């Protein structure tokens, strides 16, 4: 036998010998592909989608929105309301009105090491949450709390410093185990580094959900196993593995090779990748598209003299065929947005003014605004200035670049000269958008949550300017006293029906003023094996993993 043939046969034999070890067939386990690894495991520091997804297996918030977008108790026993007497409006020592809300923790809730979840943990978590050096990213929830009274080991009353409609939603009040974390918090500025969530993330005493992480290999995978102290319904899987695979082609390859069973919708395949996967007709999986609260829009810089006229903004929206646009970018999987409030939200106005594609009306509005079409096909005003705008977005985002091109063509037909200028995401968000430095139009998305009051994006005092060190997210510089009044009125209105009416007014004003041109709400694809049941996408920031005990195998 020649040396060459001998070599080829040896390699072939080696591969065959290794082949039986492929795959990791173990029954009663679920392997999930996720496109990002959580930055850390501490629920209070840095809020990312990956972390919410992963911690959903191992923790439960006190309250949250369920899959029908109703506010419900999860770790508490009954949602406190004014009607059931567990929330009472009170006068604070400074004379302002506040509200006292009483919660009771699930009586059987225990940390993984057997220590009960108690009000001691609540008081400790609040202490961490309000401390300026603790590194908590979203401190507003904690700062709203004036004080907390622990009635007993399981019942506590939160005194909020103002009356607001979401008084009983303490969704972001993440509970830390005092018995595990107190030492790490002895020097608050070092807490983010010394927390056991960072130094010992598989310690069962840090979790109280249906599962707890038993192996964490940073950047690669996390293994979850059932938590013996879990007080709720027994989960179906003996092991859940979350593997990090960052790209859609690699996720697809791993599905096909059997290395993963499903792809998380919250952070997985791109919509076009999932559509392509579906087209290849893989009978073993079901692809479900769920619209979520990620609002894609074009913010108008209303300080630009052209865009300061709302007729121009309205004309831009009338002149854009959003139905066709969405068909092109997502095969129609994403819903059209009519304002920043999702149609799935209870406060969404079903009769809101819509801007169906109407180039004739768009032209009339531009004519009325003083922009008349010239012989070169470009509109000009009486002074001879061109109707020219610059549209900016994140470079390299294929979907946004496609939207830009479609918009450019559509608006050109109306006589508007559109220049496209894209920047890397870091420059675009870091310098251009947040510093209000785009000359005309900026295409990007905002994330939100059910009944999210858009104060930071619409209130007059939230425009980022040098004077406030570019704080605030009203990046277009929109100012309308009526909008400010409505934002205040909604926040303080406890009656749901009266609040609904105010929300309708806010949406009507938004649709009329168009501080941003609404495009669509993103949809995310869930790729699930046919044998997996009970995974119910929510469409908001609370991931499917928070109901993991309902996931089951049906073969």
Partner 1 sequence: MLRHVSLRLVQSLLTLLVMSFLIYGLISLMPGDPISLMAAGSPSMTPEDVARLKALYGIDRPWTLRYGHWLGAALEGDLGYSRLSAQSVTSTLISPLTNSLALMTCALSLALLIALPVGVLAALRQGRALDHVFNIAAFAAISLPVFWIGLVFIIIFAVGLSWLPASGVETVGGGGGIDRLRHLALPVLALAVAGFGHYMRYMRASMIAVLRQDWIRTARAKGLSWPQVVLRHAMRNALIPVITILSLDLGTLFSGIVVTETVFAYPGMGKLIYDAVTGADYNLALAGLMLATGLTLSGSLLADCAYGLLDPRIGDR
Contacts with partner 1 in 10-39 (CB under 8 A)?
Answer: 15-16, 18-19, 21-24, 31, 39
Query: Binder to partner 1 among 89, 308, 447, 498 (CB under 8 A)?
Result: 447
Query: Binder to partner 1 among 87, 241, 317, 389 (CB under 8 A)?
Result: 241
Is the Cβ of residue 229 or residue 473 nearer to partner 1 in the bound state?
A: 473
| Shortest separation between residue 150's beta carbon and partner 1, angstroms | 27
Identify the DSSP state of 386. Answer: B
* Tokens representing residue 485 in the block: 């009044």
Question: Which part of the chain contacts partner 1 (CB under 8 A), choosing from 71-79, 119-127, 189-197, 409-417?
Answer: 189-197
Is the Cβ of residue 73 or residue 244 nearer to partner 1 in the bound state?
A: 244
* Tokens representing residue 298 in the block: 């074009």
| Shortest separation between residue 373's beta carbon and partner 1, angstroms | 37
CB-count burial class (<10 Å; 0-12, 13-18, 19+) for 541: buried
| Shortest separation between residue 156's beta carbon and partner 1, angstroms | 24
User: Judged by CB under 8 A, does residue 42 bind partner 1?
Assistant: yes
Is the Cβ of residue 99 or residue 241 nearer to partner 1 in the bound state?
A: 241
Is the Cβ of residue 133 or residue 385 nearer to partner 1 in the bound state?
A: 133
Strand blocks (E) in 343-440 = 372-373, 379-380, 388-394, 417-423
| Shortest separation between residue 259's beta carbon and partner 1, angstroms | 5
CA distance 300 to 464: 14
Please name the residues in contact with 122: beta carbons below 8 A apart, sequence gap of 6 or more.
Answer: 105, 148, 150, 156, 173, 175
Is the Cβ of residue 86 or residue 171 nearer to partner 1 in the bound state?
A: 171
The string of DSSP codes covering 213-259 is: EEEEETTTEEEEEE-TT--SSPPS-SEEEEEE--SHHHHHHHHHHTS
The interface with partner 1 within residues 463-502 (CB under 8 A) comprises: 468-473
The interface with partner 1 within residues 389-428 (CB under 8 A) comprises: 425-427
Identify the DSSP state of 116. Answer: B
* Tokens representing residue 326 in the block: 């969405």
* Alpha-carbon Rg for the chain in angstroms: 26
Question: Which part of the chain contacts partner 1 (CB under 8 A), choosing from 111-119, 145-153, 154-162, 236-244?
Answer: 236-244
Is the Cβ of residue 221 or residue 357 nearer to partner 1 in the bound state?
A: 221
| Shortest separation between residue 428's beta carbon and partner 1, angstroms | 8
Is the Cβ of residue 139 or residue 529 nearer to partner 1 in the bound state?
A: 139
Is the Cβ of residue 416 or residue 486 nearer to partner 1 in the bound state?
A: 486
User: Judged by CB under 8 A, does residue 452 bind partner 1?
Assistant: yes
Least Cα distance to 454 among 289, 308, 297, 309 occurs for: 297
Q: At what angle do helices 271-279 and 398-413 cross, to 10 degrees?
A: 100
| Shortest separation between residue 24's beta carbon and partner 1, angstroms | 6
Query: Binder to partner 1 among 256, 286, 343, 395 (CB under 8 A)?
Result: 256
Query: Binder to partner 1 among 189, 308, 356, 368 (CB under 8 A)?
Result: 189
| Shortest separation between residue 139's beta carbon and partner 1, angstroms | 5
| Shortest separation between residue 66's beta carbon and partner 1, angstroms | 20
Query: Binder to partner 1 among 149, 284, 385, 431 (CB under 8 A)?
Result: 431
HEC readout, 43-75? CCCCCCHHHHHHHCCCCCCCEEECCCCCEEECC
| Shortest separation between residue 348's beta carbon and partner 1, angstroms | 18
Is the Cβ of residue 466 or residue 469 nearer to partner 1 in the bound state?
A: 469
* Tokens representing residue 86 in the block: 């567990």
Is the Cβ of residue 21 or residue 351 nearer to partner 1 in the bound state?
A: 21
The interface with partner 1 within residues 85-144 (CB under 8 A) comprises: 132-133, 135, 137-140, 143
For the chain, give percent helix, strand, coil, nearest 5.
35, 20, 45
Q: Is residue 235 a contact partner of residue 553, using CB atoms and an 8 Å limit?
A: no
The interface with partner 1 within residues 142-161 (CB under 8 A) comprises: 143
* Tokens representing residue 184 in the block: 């790490």
CA distance 145 to 143: 5
User: Judged by CB under 8 A, does residue 213 bind partner 1?
Assistant: no
Site string for partner 1, 263-292 (x = CB under 8 A): ------------------------------
Q: Is residue 347 a contact partner of residue 451, using CB atoms and an 8 Å limit?
A: yes
User: Judged by CB under 8 A, does residue 448 bind partner 1?
Assistant: yes
CA distance 343 to 337: 8
Between the CA of residue 63 and those of 66, 70, 174, what are the distances in Å? 9, 10, 10
User: Judged by CB under 8 A, does residue 61 bind partner 1?
Assistant: no
Which residue in the block uniquely carries the two structure tokens 């961490």?
A: 128
Is the Cβ of residue 328 or residue 480 nearer to partner 1 in the bound state?
A: 480
User: Judged by CB under 8 A, does residue 379 bind partner 1?
Assistant: no
CA distance 334 to 329: 9
């Amino acid at each position: 036998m020649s040396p060459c043939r001998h070599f080829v046969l040896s390699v072939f034999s080696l591969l065959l010998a290794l082949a039986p070890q492929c795959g990791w067939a173990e029954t009663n386990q679920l392997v999930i592909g996720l496109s990002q690894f959580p930055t850390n495991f501490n629920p209070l520091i840095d809020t990312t989608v990956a972390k919410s997804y992963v911690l959903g297996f191992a923790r439960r918030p006190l309250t949250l929105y369920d899959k029908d977008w109703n506010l419900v108790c999860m770790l508490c026993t009954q949602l406190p309301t004014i009607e059931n007497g567990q929330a009472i409006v009170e006068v604070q020592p400074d004379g302002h009105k506040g509200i006292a809300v009483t919660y009771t923790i699930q009586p059987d809730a225990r940390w993984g090491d057997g220590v009960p979840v108690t009000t001691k943990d609540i008081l400790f978590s609040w202490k961490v949450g309000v401390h300026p050096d603790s590194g908590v990213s979203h401190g507003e929830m904690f700062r709203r709390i004036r004080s907390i009274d622990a009635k007993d080991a399981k019942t506590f009353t939160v005194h909020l410093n103002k009356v607001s409609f979401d008084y009983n939603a303490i969704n972001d009040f993440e509970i830390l185990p005092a018995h595990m974390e107190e030492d790490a918090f002895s020097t608050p500025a070092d807490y983010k580094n010394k927390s056991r969530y960072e130094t010992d993330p598989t310690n069962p005493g840090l979790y109280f959900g249906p599962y707890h992480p038993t192996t964490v290999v940073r950047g690669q995978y996390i293994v979850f196993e059932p938590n013996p102290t879990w007080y709720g319904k027994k989960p179906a899987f003996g092991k859940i593995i979350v593997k990090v695979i960052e790209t859609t082609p690699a996720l697809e390859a791993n599905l096909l090779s059997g290395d993963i069973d499903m792809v998380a919708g919250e952070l997985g395949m791109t919509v076009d990748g999932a559509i392509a996967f579906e087209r290849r007709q893989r009978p073993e999986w079901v692809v479900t598209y769920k619209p979520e609260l990620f609002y894609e829009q074009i913010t108008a810089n209303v300080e630009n003299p052209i865009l300061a006229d709302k007729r121009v903004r309205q004309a831009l929206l009338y002149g854009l065929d959003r139905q066709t646009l969405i068909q092109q970018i997502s095969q129609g999987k994403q819903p059209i947005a009519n304002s920043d409030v999702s149609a799935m939200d209870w406060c969404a106005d079903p009769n809101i003014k819509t801007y169906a594609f109407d180039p004739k009306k768009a032209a009339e509005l531009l004519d009325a605004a003083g922009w008349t079409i010239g012989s070169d096909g470009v509109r000009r005003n009486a002074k001879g200035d061109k109707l020219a705008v610059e549209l900016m977005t994140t470079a390299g985002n294929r979907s946004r670049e496609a939207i830009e091109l479609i918009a450019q063509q559509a608006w050109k037909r109306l006589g508007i000269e559109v220049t496209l200028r894209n920047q890397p995401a870091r420059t675009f968000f870091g310098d251009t958008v947040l510093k209000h430095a785009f000359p005309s139009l900026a295409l990007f998305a905002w994330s939100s949550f059910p009944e999210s009051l858009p104060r930071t994006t619409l209130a007059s005092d939230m425009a980022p300017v040098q004077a406030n060190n570019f704080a605030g997210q009203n990046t277009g510089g929109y100012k309308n006293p009526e909008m400010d009044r409505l934002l205040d009125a909604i926040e303080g209105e406890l009656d749901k029906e009266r609040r609904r009416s105010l929300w309708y007014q806010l949406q009507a004003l938004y649709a009329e003023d168009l501080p941003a041109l609404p495009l669509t709400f993103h949809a995310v694809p869930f790729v699930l094996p046919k044998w997996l049941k009970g995974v119910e996408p929510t469409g908001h920031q609370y991931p499917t993993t928070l109901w993991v005990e309902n996931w089951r195998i049906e073969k």
